[in-house]
Amino acid sequence: MKPLFTLHAGEYLVGSHIEHCYRQWNVWVPSKDTGIDLLVTDSQNRRSVSLQVKFSKDFSPTSRRDSSIKDYLMVMARGWWTLDEKKIRASNADFWVFVLPSFLEHRTSFIVIPPKELLRRLRAIHDPGGKRIHSYLWVTKSKRCWETRDLKKNDLKRIAEDCFSDELRDFSIFLNAWEQIEKNLK
């Protein structure tokens, strides 16, 4: 075990959220890097769920020039992650949690998704061919979550106006979807 202990911002925000909202769960930090950032157990420590945590700053403040004021105000947060397809495929984590704090709303959104489903969607959307994947997730004030990379301006506007439709790009069912973890801990 290394004597130096570090916890990145995303791991802290996930752990803090769980401790605040799900007091019956325990949060554990592994002592070595195995691709699992946090382990969550039930109150008896009999059932566990492993999490891989990915953090992004909110790019909304820097994206304003790309949108109208109205559209800009309808999007709560915009994140950007660079992911490795091989790492997603080989992941031992039960869930990946994308952490996206909103600069404007002062709230944090969590996208909780199984790695196999994440990989299926990203392959279908971006066809990475085993390479790095750049993923842009937007969370709207209407509590929707979208993968927006490579979308045209008109589609981005439709997302902001809450009238966009694309089953693969719609990550809303994973937005703050802690019930998936709760189900696994019962």
pTM: 0.92
Separation of alpha carbons 180 and 106, rounded Å: 25
Task: List the pLDDT tens digit at each of the 186 positions of the chain.
Answer: 554 567 899 999 999 999 999 999 999 999 888 999 999 999 999 999 999 999 999 888 655 555 555 566 789 999 999 999 999 999 999 999 999 999 888 899 999 999 999 999 999 999 867 689 999 999 999 999 999 999 999 999 999 999 999 999 999 999 999 999 999 999
Domain count, the chain: 1
- Report yes or no on 2 lying in a domain: no
Separation of alpha carbons 82 and 132, rounded Å: 7
Query: Domain containing 17: what range?
Result: 9-184
pLDDT tens-digit map of 8-59: 999 999 999 999 999 999 999 998 889 999 999 999 999 999 999 999 998 8
- Please spell the DSSP secondary structure of 23-84, one letter per residue: TTSEEE--SS-SS--EEEE-TTS-SEEEEEEEE----HHHHGGGS-HHHHHHEEEEEEEEEE
Q: Is beta strand 48-55 parallel, antiparallel or unpaired with respect to 95-101?
A: parallel
- Report yes or no on 4 lying in a domain: no
- Report yes or no on 3 lying in a domain: no
